[in-house]
Amino acid sequence: MSIIKTVSTQPFPDQKPGTSGLRKKVKMFQTPHYLENFVQSIFLAVDGLKGSTIVMGGDGRYFNREALQVIIKMAAANGIARVMVGKGGILSTPAASCVIRKYGLKGGIILSASHNPGGPDGDFGIKYNIENGGPSPEHVTDAIFKQSLNMDSYRIFEAEDLNLDKPGETQLGTMTVQVFDSIIEYVELMESLFDFRKMENLIRSGEFSLIFDGMNAVTGPYARAIFEDRLGAPEGTVINGDPLPDFGGGHPDPNLKYADQLVAMMNSQGGPDLGAASDGDGDRNMILGKNFFVTPSDSLAVIAANAHLIPGYSGIISGIARSMPTSMAADRVAESMGIDCYETPTGWKFFGNLLDAGRVTFCGEESFGTGSSHIREKDGLWAVLFWLNMLAEKKDSVEGIVREHWKQFGRNYYSRHDYEGVDSEAAQLVMEGIRKRLPAMGGESLGGQTVAMADEFSYTDPVDGAVSTGQGIRIIFQNGSRIVFRLSGTGTEGATIRIYLEKYESDPARHDIDTQDALAELIAAAGEVSQIHEITGRDAPSVIT
């Protein structure tokens, strides 16, 4: 006999969600009552959940299945009417957004720490997506955190674990549990946006090849279904395509450092024409050509400039949005098209209102995230398909498309320097030191350039008027170059200081300079202003992208 059990507990003071939910070490989530407290906080803080339908799933990382069983039983004990669960517990973040929007669900619980490492000693995460399919806005995450600080009990349905590997429906008390194949839903959405026939013809021509690196994360099965099964790419086109609890010992972050196997293949003699990778939960992407890396900032700009080639975007583009640290390449495209370009804080949730209001069609972040109005999350495979569709239409190479774009709009030399796992106190000292210098920076000479303005970015949402402050420090020079400093909220230990550097070059004859060489003066200026090497003891960044 199954019963609902009320379990006494005490609050944990550290359950404040960040830009993408709550992320901690696996061992913390395995602490008795820790997961349950946060889940109960969601069920109590989010209005209208009782009697509703929600979707659940995750990126397959360590503790994914165990956590899902707990959350399903807690949903049954908290009056949820129906839960849709990705087969095998697998559900990419874009697919979750797709399902929420397609079926008009109340929301969804996604288990992922995105691009962070997995395994018993790795990271775990959980977030709640709202009814538009996007991440919870700040007023929702604030309510969840406030609730977590007052937890004294949680409710859970006592029952045997469910079989999550077989599609179908079962009852858990009064709640229906539906295990479904989310790949089918996602592929149908992609087919409604892109010209699959042209992409298939390109692949089957024998004159084009691609490689997709699933990084042993969630997108492998989705990518196989699209590239190999639907578009006819040879078996083996998708590498590292099986989701593994520890991501095969790798770091599921699609950048030049962690996707080194893919990079080596693309830089080899006779390498593929298109290379791409996605991250742990499938919302990020990296695009590569033969010996050529497309920065995420450039990718957003190129996508917007070529949207007329794609069936799902052949109409009028309403606008573009980019996070503040993302390069201004998209701004130039928006200006040429006579549409607005919005500058928001980092975090996909800030794009939600703009998308819902119809103000923007495309969104992007420099952290390898690109997306559109088709869902309310960034979408890694969507971006790859957009590039593949462009290649089929333009009959050009990846490098050729980007260079033609630079010729028309100019090149925004751009790089991000990450200092990962920095002592939190030292990281705060770095930021506070820069902050103190801001009032006197106007007119100052740094790295041979004159500072036009320096401030700490704040954002007023043009739709609902919500204000977000403390969103990163900007130093903008008279020639349009920029240095941006931010503390990242996606790690689980120490702090990550991110330094973003940008310089615009209009002369095509100067578009072949090595990026770090082109930004050398700005890199030196950033070091001088921040004193990051002296304060942190770090000689160089952990990762440069």
pLDDT in single tens digits along all 545 residues of the chain: 569 999 999 999 999 998 789 999 999 999 999 999 999 999 999 999 999 999 999 999 999 999 999 999 999 999 999 999 999 999 999 999 999 999 999 999 999 998 899 999 999 999 999 999 999 988 999 999 999 999 999 999 999 999 999 999 999 999 999 999 999 999 999 999 999 999 999 999 999 999 999 999 999 999 999 999 999 999 999 999 999 999 999 999 999 989 999 999 999 999 999 999 999 999 999 999 999 999 999 999 999 999 999 999 988 899 999 999 999 999 999 999 999 999 999 988 899 999 999 999 999 999 999 999 999 999 999 999 999 999 999 999 999 999 999 999 999 999 999 999 899 999 999 999 999 999 999 999 887 889 999 999 999 999 999 899 999 999 999 988 999 999 985 555 679 999 999 999 999 999 999 999 999 999 999 999 999 999 999 999 998 88
- For 398-456, the DSSP string reads HHHHHHHHHHHH-EEEEEEEEEEEE-HHHHHHHHHHHHHHGGG-TT-EETTEEEEEEEE
Q: Which of 41, 97, 112, 114 is catalytic?
A: 114
Locate tokens 């390069």: which residue? 327
What gap in Å lies between CA 147 and CA 143, rounded to an integer?
Answer: 6
Return all residues near 365 (Cβ < 8 A) that are at least 6 apart: 296, 322, 323, 325, 326, 346, 348, 378
CATH topology of domain 411-544: TATA-Binding Protein (3.30.310)
Report the b/e string of 14-44 with b at 16+ CB within 10 A: ebebbbbbbbbbbebbbeebbbbbbbbbbbb
Q: What is the pTM of this model?
A: 0.94
Superfamily of domain 186-409: Alpha-D-Glucose-1,6-Bisphosphate, subunit A, domain 3 (3.40.120.10)
The three-state DSSP-derived secondary structure of 337-391 is HCCEEEEECCCCHHHHHHHHCCCCCEEEECCCEEEECCCCCCCHHHHHHHHHHHH
On the question of a common fold for 186-409 and 411-544, the answer reads no
Domain range annotation of the chain: 3-180, 186-409, 411-544
Locate tokens 């009852």: which residue? 171
3-180 CATH choice from 3.30.70.20, 3.40.190.10, 2.60.40.10, 3.40.120.10: 3.40.120.10
Residue length of the chain = 545
Q: Is 52 designated active site?
A: no
